[in-house]
Structure 1
């Protein structure tokens, strides 16, 4: 039986981080609050499950802990206005990111740039 890899490559880490940032933005737009720690954990598990990814605990914690800070930086400085229509449009019906969305592509690029050069063990 093959096991899933425990460490994700840069692209997969950037996609998970983008998903978590988008989830923070959506929750903030809908409720006025950021995702709770419990919901971040749940969102991480959902993404990993639906994308067949595997990440060790430290990798998941590291990415999850960065998502809120990126969301807080992105929202006020972005060229995209993250209103309810834009944020809802970041997701497809199956709660996957919609990379046709300019907001998703901009968020992904910011997450990718953030991760480049970081050390992963």
Structure 2
């Protein structure tokens, strides 16, 4: 099973326009995550809007048959991107998608927004 990092590329912090950004905060974070994920066991994809605007910047960590997580409230930084990728790699290594708290990268602590149970198997 492949673990995916789904990245909202339309996320913007409230001061986005005042900072004169040419790209959204989500686009900048997506590029950082994609660079950090290159060569790992996880894959990335961009989507336009995860509907978590109050929690930008948002990502989802997902895999079939595993717990899925939405994380947000990230500042755009290489540390945040690396923490997201490191957590996703641990998610990929887990049979259930659950990663023990003691193994969470510091950069993701305090950023979990939701957890979703895996979809049931069709029978």
| Range of TM-score over shorter length | 0.3 to 0.5
Whichever structure has more strand as a proportion of its residues is 2
* TM-score computed with the length of structure 2 as normaliser: 0.35
Whichever structure has more helix as a proportion of its residues is 1
RCO higher in 1 or 2 (8 Å CA, sep ≥ 6)?
1
